Homo-oligomer: A and B are copies of this chain.
Amino acid sequence: MNAPNVKAVSDYLLDLQDRICGALETLDQEKSFREDKWIREEGGGGRSRVMEEGDVFEKAGINFSHVHGRQLPASATAHRPELAGRSFEALGVSLVIHPRNPYVPTSHANVRFFIAEKENAEPVWWFGGGFDLTPYYGFEEDAMHWHSTARQACDPFGKSIYPRFKKWCDEYFFLKHRGEPRGIGGLFFDDFNELGFETSFAFMQSVGDHYIPAYTPIVERRKDHPYAERERDFQMYRRGRYVEFNLVYDRGTLFGLQTGGRTESILMSLPPIVKWRYDWHPAEGSPEAELYEKFLNPRDWLST
């Protein structure tokens, strides 16, 4: 029972994509998702779903992809040189949601499965994924809800899982050149096979299934919060950090670009409108300064 079952993973992922799109369409009265199926020359393809210019979601992209290739690319073997040269199969769902209202945080989630194979050797397989939240104006209540849902996703698999993958998330979604976390974190895991196939797969499903209950209550709470040009401007400025992270550091983005993935599907994660301003800093004591002080410092959201 513990041999990897790619078909089961694929079925789960396609259904997850449907469920997440459905949940977001329920929240947005204006727009629905457009679907594009695509095929990759070297092997495999995907199903991209994108919503633009909704009333709640200014841009939302939810991508399923299943690709295979003759050689794992550099981004996938940098930390595991023993896998260099193996053929691979990779499937996952990846999403980024950019809401219009600056009081609604941007969110990202990803669940994925890899197998790397070579002749005369056992296949090496692993799961990865997680979800993280990037507020523009922070609310402690939202951060606690997000992290407590993340912990609920993990706890059935062992009490050490949440703190371990919460910490990994803080470390991963960090902009070194800014000395700044991308947001308030959540979960991040990779190279995960320690529970055997069935239970590792169940863990990945638990993470995937907890994204909707983690995010949608926050969207509902904040989507009608009044805002003006100032808040919108700060949102556009902060979205610049999102672009910097995704293009400079993000492993999934680099993996996609290096493996000749479909560029428009990979870069659907980029925000619809972004500003860069030279050496800008929020005024002391402002709500914008509060984001940096209270939310952009890794902390334990569930200690109290």
Contacts and interface: CB of A to CB of B under 8 A. Distances in A.
A65 to B, nearest CB: 15
Interface in A120-179: 176-178
A279 interface: yes
Given A52-B277, A275-B272, A278-B59, A248 B257 contact: yes
A264 B276 CA distance: 10
Given A178-B263, A247-B248, A267-B244, A275 B273 contact: yes
A247 B243 contact: yes
A274 interface: yes
Nearest to A239: B274
Secondary structure at the A interface, as helix, strand, loop or mixed, is mixed
Contacts of A243: 243, 247, 274
Contacts of A276: 59, 267, 270-274
A300 interface: no
A45 interface: no
A18 interface: no
Interface in A61-80: 61
Nearest to A51: B278
Contact of A177 (B248, B257, B270): B257
A270 B240 contact: yes
A96 to B, nearest CB: 11
A302 B16 CA distance: 55
Contacts of A178: 263
6 contacts: A50-B279, A61-B278, A177-B267, A264-B278, A267-B276, A272-B276
